[in-house]
Structures are given as structure tokens and as C-alpha cells.
């Protein structure tokens, strides 16, 4: 996992720290679960509907954090002939993705000609026309570095599509913790406008960002907390480091009742941010002498002449 002391230094970069030990624990827990979180699957469905906006038919798709992204069947339906490369953040999730790739031929998960690969390291630069990342950027302490990494993996005119949790997520819970004098229950989330600027800084063109708020409801504090744990839990480095007592848990349950609506169900909002952008053709900075690689020159010529 990335160094938890990394902060966002390139403009615009707000200091954003994550407890990557906590993130690692979440990923291990998700690898043991029988299926990805329900919210991840729902966001994947909504993001896949946006593929209708894109005319490009990718030959190779990189799926970032594929198992927890819950998007395999949706991408298979959208691009049945594409070669899929799944990049996972841990050995446990790598094994889950490899197990998914070994599904029998009649499985709905099957891609084109069984051309599914799962790996921990990056594919070759410029090897994909689509990089797909569902519900994982909020677990990344250095989004600008990751976006630059994605940009290198895409071919010119390839595109990235992603979703993540924005700063409006769990605002009701953060207000409740603040009123009780407790440390925040979530890390800080990246605003979509800042993320759009990061995309441009990384070399992407025509970024499109939008968001929606999904409101989930539960019939009890216990059900609410179980759902939050399945989605990820608190990865804020400023959260309380000590063990909680049964008395503290009882106090939390009582406080959560204040989130109930007129129907008696507890309500929390999740701001889901969606984005996509294209990899622009490389540009040469003019000087008395300018150097450009052969690969970049070919990409520039292809972009100028068209297909």
C-alpha cells in the first residue's frame, strides 16, 4: 500500500492522509466476503450506463481493483470481445479475481474468449483503451500520482472511467461525531472539481465530472454500522486509537437514533462522484532543440491523420 504520510502536493492538492493500515485491513476483509459490497455493485451499474456516451470500442480493458469494484459482468456485457486485465492491490484479492476468471464457460461472468488476466503489477504502458476504476479512489492517499500512472497505461485516445465517494458522504454522521466531541468517523474526501484539475495535470483531456447523492436507510443502529463496516469503515488517521467499550457503543447506538426520519428509519447520504476523461496525444514543448520518443511520434501522427 502507499505510504500513509504522502500528501497531495501538486496543485491543486489539499493535504489528505489515510491510515493505510486500516485500508489494508478493509481489503483483507472484503477478500473474505462472499461478494463485494452492495453499494459498490449499485454504483457500478450506474457507471456502466454511462458507457453509452463513449463510441470507442476498447480491445483491452484494465479493471482497477476488479473484485471490490463488482463490475466484471457489466463490462463483459458492454465489451464481450475485449481482453480484460484486472489489477488488484493485494494477494488475497488477486486470488479472488483469478478464481472469478476460472468460471465455467456457461457462467455470466465469462468474457469473450476467456481472455482474463489478474495481476498485482502494471500492464505495459499504452496497452489499453479503457481503464475502469469503480469505488476505489477514496481509498488512495495520492490520487494525482495514481492518475498519472493510469495515464501511462492508456493508449492515446483511450479513456478512463471511475467513481468514488465525495466530500458529502456521511455528512450526518460526521456532524453527530462532532457534536459528541469525538474524532471524525471518516477521512477527508476529494472534491470533484479538484479531481478534475488533477486529471488535466496528469495529461488527460476533456474531463467530465458529476455527482449524485444516494440515501441509504436502515431499521436499526446495528444494521447501519454493519453496512458501514462492509463498505469500508473508518480509515482516518485521526480516529481514536483506543479500544471502544460497551458503554461507548451503547452511547453511539442512542445517538444514531437522531438520524431517523419520519418513517423511523435511520438515514445517511453518500455522495458518489463519477468521472471520465481521454488520454490526449503527447505534445512537444518547443525549444531550440526538442526531443521526442519514436512511440510518442507515432502516436502524434496517428492522432493527426485520424484512424
Q: What is the pLDDT of residues 185-233, one digit of tens each?
A: 999 999 999 999 999 999 999 999 999 999 999 999 999 999 999 999 8
Q: How many helices (H) and strands (E) does the chain have?
A: 11, 7
Measured CA to CA, the distance from residue 63 to residue 218 in angstroms comes to: 31
* pTM listed for this prediction: 0.85
Q: Report yes or no on 133 lying in a domain.
A: yes
Residue 260 lies in a domain: no
Report if residue 255 sits inside a domain: no
For the domain that residue 52 is a member of, what is the CATH number?
A: 3.40.50.150
Write down the residue that cell numbers 455493485 correspond to.
41
The answer to whether residue 181 sits within a structural domain is: no
- Phi and psi torsions of 243, nearest 5°: -75, 145
Burial 33-48 (b: 16+ CB within 10 A, else e): eeebbebbbebbeebb
Q: Is residue 282 part of a domain?
A: yes
In the three-class reduction of DSSP (H, G, I as helix; E, B as strand; rest coil), residue 21 is classed as: helix
Name the strand (E) or helix (H) holding 270: strand 266-279
pLDDT of amino acid 116: 83
- Asked whether the beta carbons of 272 and 214 are under 8 A apart, the reply is yes
For residue 1, is it within any domain?
A: no
Q: Take residue 296 and report the three cell numbers written for it.
A: 510518442
Contact (CB, 8 A) for 72 and 98:
no
Q: Residue 28 belongs to what H/E stretch?
A: helix 20-32
pLDDT confidence tier of residue 100, bands split at 50, 70 and 90: confident
Whether 221 is covered by a domain: the verdict is: no
pLDDT in tens, 229-261: 999 989 999 888 777 899 999 999 999 999 999
More confident residue, 109 or 204: 204
Q: Count of domains in the chain? A: 1
pLDDT tops 90 at residue 147: yes
Nine cell digits for residue 210: 458529476
Residue 241 lies in a domain: no
Segments forming the whole domain that contains residue 193: 20-167+189-213+270-301
Amino acid at each position: 500500500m502507499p505510504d500513509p504520510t504522502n500528501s497531495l502536493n501538486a496543485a491543486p492538492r489539499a493535504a489528505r492522509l489515510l491510515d493505510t493500515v486500516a485500508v489494508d485491513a478493509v481489503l483483507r476483509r472484503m477478500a473474505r466476503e462472499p461478494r463485494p459490497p452492495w453499494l459498490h455493485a449499485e454504483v457500478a451499474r450506474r457507471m456502466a450506463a454511462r458507457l453509452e456516451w463513449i463510441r470507442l470500442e476498447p480491445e483491452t480493458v484494465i479493471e482497477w481493483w476488479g473484485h471490490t469494484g463488482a463490475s466484471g459482468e457489466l463490462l463483459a456485457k458492454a465489451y464481450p470481445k475485449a481482453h480484460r486485465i484486472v489489477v488488484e492491490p493485494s494477494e488475497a484479492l488477486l486470488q479472488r479475481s483469478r478464481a472469478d476468471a476460472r468460471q465455467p464457460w456457461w457462467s455470466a461472468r465469462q468474457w469473450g474468449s476467456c481472455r482474463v488476466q489478474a495481476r498485482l503489477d502494471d500492464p505495459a504502458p499504452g496497452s489499453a483503451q479503457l481503464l475502469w476504476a469503480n469505488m476505489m479512489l477514496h481509498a488512495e492517499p495520492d490520487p494525482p500520482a495514481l492518475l498519472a500512472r493510469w495515464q501511462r497505461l492508456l493508449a492515446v485516445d483511450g479513456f478512463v472511467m471511475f467513481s468514488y465517494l465525495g466530500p458529502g458522504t456521511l455528512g450526518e454522521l460526521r456532524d453527530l461525531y462532532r457534536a459528541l466531541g469525538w474524532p471524525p468517523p471518516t477521512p477527508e474526501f476529494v472534491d470533484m472539481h479538484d479531481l478534475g484539475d488533477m486529471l488535466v495535470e496528469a495529461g488527460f483531456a476533456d474531463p467530465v465530472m458529476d455527482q449524485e447523492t444516494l440515501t441509504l436507510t436502515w431499521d436499526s443502529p446495528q444494521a447501519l454500522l454493519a453496512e458501514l463496516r462492509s463498505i469500508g469503515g473508518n480509515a482516518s488517521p485521526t480516529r481514536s486509537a483506543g479500544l471502544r467499550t460497551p458503554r461507548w457503543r451503547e452511547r453511539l447506538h442512542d445517538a444514531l437514533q437522531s438520524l431517523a426520519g419520519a418513517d423511523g428509519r435511520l438515514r445517511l447520504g453518500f455522495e458518489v462522484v463519477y468521472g471520465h476523461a481521454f488520454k490526449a496525444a503527447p505534445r512537444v514543448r518547443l525549444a531550440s532543440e526538442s526531443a521526442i520518443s519514436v512511440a510518442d511520434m507515432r502516436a502524434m501522427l496517428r492522432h493527426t491523420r485520424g484512424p
